[in-house]
Chains A and B, each alone.
Chain A
Amino acid sequence: MFTHSKRRFVQLAGLTIANRILPDWLRARPFSPPRDSGRKVIIVTFGGGVRYSETFSHEGLKNIPQLAKMRPEALFFTSCANAGVLSHFNSTASIITGNWQRVDDFGFQPPASPTLFEYYRKQTGVGPLDAWVIATNKSFSTMGAGSEREWGSPFGANVVLPKQLLLEAVDDVVKKTPQHGVANRDNVLRQLEAILNEGYEGVGWTIFKAGRQLDHHLRNTLTRGLIEFINGPEAPTSGDELTFFITREVMREFGPRLILVNFWDMDVAHWGSYSLYLQAITRTDRLTGMLWEEIRSNPNYKDKTTLLVLPELGRDGDLNTSSNGFLNHRSGDPSCRNVWLLALGAGITRGETDRPIQHIDVAATAAALLGVKTGAISGKPIREILKQAP
């Protein structure tokens, strides 16, 4: 048929001219997963959703000075699409499973297929301290493992939800000391520690304990994160800042090879304040920059860590006729679905590509970087990232 011939012709023509128009690093090569390289992978999501227009557009760059500074060192994917359900849980679950997830929007169900953490832990046999989810979004308690029987929590990640801890503490302080409330930061710290001492489950955390000593060790590690948070030089108060401090303590103390860090402050956009939304983006940008500094200065991570940064989704566009702009993320318009991905660190060749990738490609890519195989997932390894993997 003509249509078939025409399509074939276009394919062949494309192949013929590819050598002339594509840079060398962009050309497709047969992909084979690398062997275990000891590489570490940290995935950072700009959770809550952020639009291109406030980040990597010309006018948005002022909101993300750290990412803008990191970009020349990175491989930047200009088109990373979320083609799934535009809720927070499903978006991030799709990133870490490699399949578009369509489970409960608010984390009352675990992902329907195995997560990257399960693939990694089951195949390598590493313990629970080697895979972590540290999430500001308080509904992510089931993000560490999927619901498939052969996999599941025995191979899942530790999940800690710093903001949920903070919320509980603030709530308690307000109730117990209504006169002083949360104006006294020591009150907040005391309450944070008290909640932690009562056990983790109360705040929705899943931590796989390996004996009393480790539990004690773990608690001390997390408490250090809390103390740094409360006494930080800029008097931090946000959920994302606490997420950062705890992530850094976990990295310093346990050096896990696989971490998902979910920042989420920018979801304040739902409140309808554009300035608060921009402030949250800039804060997340700063924290991501600090995380990158930690990776570069911590001997456990330096030169062996690949950092993947991407928004879990965008937000509705200003021109959308049925929504209310940046306040929501439900329209499914390009502003809501089309975001970006920044890859940097070990084995990454600098550059930029507009080859479209998808959120579900992240799991396949991270698995390959860690030297593990995934099951049958929809996502495809991102060849540009894996090109130089040993």
Chain B
Amino acid sequence: MPDQPKVSPFLQVLIDKGVFDQLPVSFSTFFFEQVKEWELLFPAERSYFERLFGLIDRSDPKAVQELFAPLRGVERKMGVNEKVWPKRQFSLDQVDFLNRSAHYPEWRKVIANIFSQIDPLLDAETARASHARLVIIVSPAELPVGPDRMWTRLKDKGKMVSLDLTEEDDVRDYLPQLLTGGKRNDGSKTLVELYAESKAKSLYDTWLIEASDALSTLVTRSAGLVKLSYDNLEVYRTRLMAEVRKILETEDIRGPRQLGAKLKQLKMLSKDIGSDPLLAEFVRSVLLSGNGTLLINNTFVEWATVQAVRRARPSLAVIHFGIRNKVKPFSSLLIYTDQKSSNPIPDQMDSLGSYVDLEVFNYYLWQEFEKHAEYRLNTVYLFVGVGMDEILVIGPPDHSLAASGGRIKLTGIYDQTKKWMNLV
């Protein structure tokens, strides 16, 4: 069949058996569209689709029928038929159809209800296969506040741990001590590298996402882990902006959805984003579908992390925010224009604005991780501000940092997180 996707043998059997086609079309076509580009899916995504449709396949047909009956009812009310919604098609037309339907809120509600019944079953499977995970979220040293005003939306979920810092400590060694247990010049391997070498479940199990290059310069290894830096992607971002601008100026683009569809055809690969087609597509998609990711470093970091969590479910993630620049007068109106070239005013850092932004983003990231069963009850989160003498630790009660008292050295934090990840 022409629209037959290349999927795993297991999923192919389910497709051939008609598992997709027996479901309401507004549900099944969405997933059919998702699995179409099977080679561009992360292992966690593939596993999810196999488990979801495997569950539907092995469930009592009557129960499946009952589960989807309300959705069939809403589809009838919406006027879903072969004409407006061809079998196995989920395009912009279908998105528009849904959005403009008077029954769209009801549709969303029944979809949410379906997942409220499916998710606990899938989550239970996930929880049975759970293992220790670590998330480190770093704020830059230039923030104009101390730890007392950091992570205000999260403090009640964890514990502030005092650090034993001395005046002789060089702030440049802050991150190396946390991630390697030594100083920058020692050249020791980072937690990230140790994990990627010995424990990672796949090439996409360990992620570094950052605004500048603080992590990239510390983690020298590139194989077996994902490294994304907003600054390091500058050449690619500029080219991408130029392409988007060209499309907007030369083609009839009606709105963001149409632009999104057009950009999806823009297979713009570059050596700047490596040779892995899955990661290249991930970066392209983050830069083009995430709001503001082309323009603001921290938005890129946040959205790339959200997407990595939703799609790849990394076991170890180190996220480093930066300071965003002040928005330049007038030229900031031109979204797809390089600000540096369009306005000779030098870039200025907005440290206060960045602080306000990060208070929200830190919370959003923690929340995003915790939405997924993989992370609940077995993840240690370290919220770190470079140079600060306190960090926020959120984690399961059995994690040693959660029970620690008194001051602790950064190298001590390193030792305990290493132990938590079974890297000893």
Contacts and interface: CB of A to CB of B under 8 A. Distances in A.
A273 B100 contact: no
B357 A275 contact: yes
A170 B330 contact: yes
B17 interface: no
Nearest to B111: A322
Contact of B303 (A104, A235, A272): A272
Most chain B Cβ neighbours within 10 Å, of A83, A139, A278, A327? A327
A326 interface: yes
B342 A182 contact: yes
A272 B350 contact: no
Contacts of A179: 344
A297 interface: no
B100 A85 contact: yes
A37 to B, nearest CB: 35
Contacts of A6: none
A85 B99 contact: yes
A106 B254 contact: yes
Interface string A121-161: 00000000000000000010000000000000000000000
A100 B352 CA distance: 41
Nearest to A103: B100
A87 interface: yes
Interface string A74-89: 0000000001010100
- Of A83, A174, A188, chain B has the most CB atoms within 10 Å of the CB of A174
A167 B344 contact: no
B306 interface: yes
Contacts of B105: 83, 332
B353 A276 contact: yes
Given A179-B344, A181-B344, A183-B345, A271 B329 contact: no
A174 B334 contact: yes
Contacts, number: 119
Given A100-B102, A272-B292, A170 B334 contact: yes
Contact of B333 (A83, A103, A166, A273): A166
Given A174-B342, A274-B357, A182 B102 contact: no
Interface in B356-400: 356-357, 359-361, 363-364, 367, 371
A276 B344 contact: no
Interface stretch (B159-167, B204-212, B293-301, B416-424): B293-301
A166 B330 CA distance: 8
Interface string B85-107: 00000000000100111101100
Given A100-B102, A102-B100, A167 B334 contact: yes
Interface string A43-74: 00000000000000000000000000000000
A167 B337 CA distance: 12
A39 to B, nearest CB: 33
Given A272-B291, A318-B364, A235 B341 contact: no
Contact of B350 (A87, A275, A319): A275
Contact of A171 (B291, B334, B341): B334
Instruction: Say whether chain B's binding surface is mostly helix, strand, loop, or mixed.
Output: helix
Q: Give the size range of A's interface with the partner.
A: 35 or more
A273 B99 contact: no
A327 B289 CA distance: 12
Most buried by A among B330, B355, B371: B330
B333 A275 contact: no
Interface string A321-364: 10011111000100000000000000000000000000000000
A173 B343 CA distance: 10
Contacts of A173: 330
A182 B343 contact: yes
Interface in A144-202: 163, 166-167, 170-171, 173-174, 178-183, 188
A239 B100 contact: no
B302 interface: yes
Contacts of B367: 318-319
Nearest to A100: B102
B84 to A, nearest CB: 14
B103 to A, nearest CB: 11
Given A102-B100, A170-B330, A275 B352 contact: yes
Contacts of A328: 291
A183 to B, nearest CB: 5
A19 interface: no
Contacts of B334: 167, 170-171, 174
A105 interface: yes
B255 interface: yes
B404 interface: no
Contacts of B102: 100, 102
Contacts of B371: 321
Interface in B253-277: 254-257
Nearest to B341: A178
Contacts of B22: none
B254 A104 contact: yes
A237 B357 contact: no
Given A105-B255, A108-B254, A273 B299 contact: yes
B331 A182 contact: yes
B174 to A, nearest CB: 25
A102 B101 CA distance: 8
Contacts of B324: 273
B244 interface: no
29 contacts: A85-B100, A103-B100, A105-B96, A105-B257, A108-B254, A139-B255, A173-B330, A174-B334, A179-B344, A180-B344, A181-B343, A181-B344, A182-B342, A182-B343, A183-B345, A235-B329, A270-B291, A271-B295, A271-B299, A272-B292, A272-B296, A273-B299, A273-B353, A275-B350, A319-B367, A325-B360, A325-B364, A328-B291, A332-B104
Q: Closest 6 interchain pairs by CB?
A: A272-B299, A271-B292, A106-B255, A275-B356, A275-B353, A182-B330
Given A272-B299, A327-B291, 13 more contacts: A87-B99, A100-B102, A105-B96, A170-B330, A174-B337, A181-B344, A182-B330, A183-B344, A235-B329, A273-B298, A278-B356, A324-B302, A332-B108
